[in-house]
Structure 1
Amino acid sequence: MSTQEHLQQRIELLEKRLVGLEDIEQIKRLQRMYGYYIDNRLWTEMAELFSDAEAVMEIGQRGRYLGKHNIEQFLLDVLGQGRSGLLRDEFINHMQLQGVVTLGDDGKQAQGRWRALIQGNPPAGSRSLFWAEGVYENTYVKEAGTWKIARLWWVPTFYTSHPCDSLSFASSPASASLPPQQPSAEPDSELGRTFVPFHYQHPITGHAVTRVTSKT
């Protein structure tokens, strides 16, 4: 093999590795966005992350829902109990940890394993906190150059709740002894606390995403 052929082969190998690393980062980004959308009960935005072809969602022992339409209905009607968005003083934290992504040989499919740690409170008025933990084993596909979720499978390890005497959504006020140069962002009157806007657009639709506040 000539020096030129060797260099060409090495360039092709490095380019393949670079594409693989970019694919893995896109998949991780996709899964993280899913977590932030579920934090805010954005069911439509979550469903749009799924493959247009053969999407599957399986949560615990609730069965498998096939296709984006059925997945969206499941999210809204079953998980969401008919409502989108957060109630005032309601919160969900869906933290996805220990992500391991493995690309398929064809570069068009991948597997991802994540550990989800979930905390939240029931709708305002209840004096308890909810915790859950479980493992995702997901499948992703690359459609027209964009990674999407083909199968989302979450198996819970545990669910629990415990009493909570107090839950505050108010931060400490500005210091009187060392006043800030500018005031903090105003809390959202409907949510009951400050909402941090998404700086990114939806990875599939390209639309800006905003929170939804439930009125019920």
Structure 2
Amino acid sequence: MTKPDSLDHTIRILERRLAAVEARDAVERLQYQYGFYLDNRMWDELAELFCDDAHGPPSIEIGRRGSYTGRDRVREFLVEVLGEGRWGLVTDEVIDHIQLQPLITVAEDGRTARCRSRALILGNSPPGTGRLLLAEGLYENRYVKQGEEWRIERLHWVPTFYTTVGDFDRAVFESAPPSELIPPDVASVPADKRLGRQFLPFHYPHPVTGAESPVPAADA
């Protein structure tokens, strides 16, 4: 028969293991959300994923552009340096960051975590150059649990390579038309003319602000 103290000890071990699994899931989801906002040049939404100064302060470094520390500086880097002052996509613009191979380590106290992952980048930003950017690189990021929510504390991406492939302007954004012989029950949503293609809205609210994310179409 199991002794009560032994059972309590087992329960505590299982609770810690469950907490670690939940933390890894939350950090992985946070990193993927970061990637989707980055794809669409949604700088405000992306900046909100970073922790407050009192819990970090947060910092960001992408490529050889240097590191920016503090929430205000992180936002400034995203909006002005990386985004060059433009929020959202223009017509026919593609800049996909495919998040791969997340290896997440959660600290014993369950309040901080680290993640090494990979990003494969495909893009034509800005469109009209006739070239496809192909790049790959590694992340070494840190995360902190702010209250009950995970936030990014340090985001650091180092490129492995950059290259370009020609004739990307010939890429097709529309798929084949609906079948006339066997028509669909419901027609597809029309393409957003501002983007030049159909855009799937985010199914989740912003994880920090709770706001519904707008379509990332730049005013220009």
TM-score, normalising length from structure 2? 0.94
Q: Which of the residues 165, 175, 181 maps onto 2:179? A: 175
The CA deviation at 1:2 is: 6.1
The CA deviation at 1:186 is: 1.4
Does residue 193 of the first structure (1) align with residue 197 of the second (2)?
yes
Structure 1 partner of 2:106: 103
Q: Aligned to 2:134, what secondary structure does the other structure show? A: strand
Does residue 114 of the first structure (1) align with residue 109 of the second (2)?
no
Does residue 6 of the first structure (1) align with residue 10 of the second (2)?
no
1:49-85 per-residue CA deviation (whole Å, 9 max, x = no partner) reads 0110200101121111011111111111111111010
RMSD: 1.3
Structure 2 partner of 1:159: 162
Q: Aligned to 2:143, what secondary structure does the other structure show? A: strand
Structure 2 partner of 1:25: 25
- Whether the 8 Å contact between 1:122 and 1:128 is mirrored in structure 2 is no
- Unaligned regions of 5+ residues in structure 1, if any? none
The CA deviation at 1:172 is: 0.7
The CA deviation at 1:212 is: 2.4
Most deviating of 26-35 and 203-212: 203-212
Cα distance in 1 between the residues matched to 2:29 and 2:123: 23
Structure 2 partner of 1:131: 134
* Poorly superposed stretches of 4+, deviation over 3 Å: none
TM-score, normalising length from structure 1? 0.96
Q: Aligned to 1:49, what secondary structure does the other structure show? A: coil
Cα distance in 2 between the residues matched to 1:90 and 1:4: 62
1:160-190 per-residue CA deviation (whole Å, 9 max, x = no partner) reads 1121161111111001222112211111121
- Whether the 8 Å contact between 1:116 and 1:136 is mirrored in structure 2 is yes
Structure 1 partner of 2:58: 55
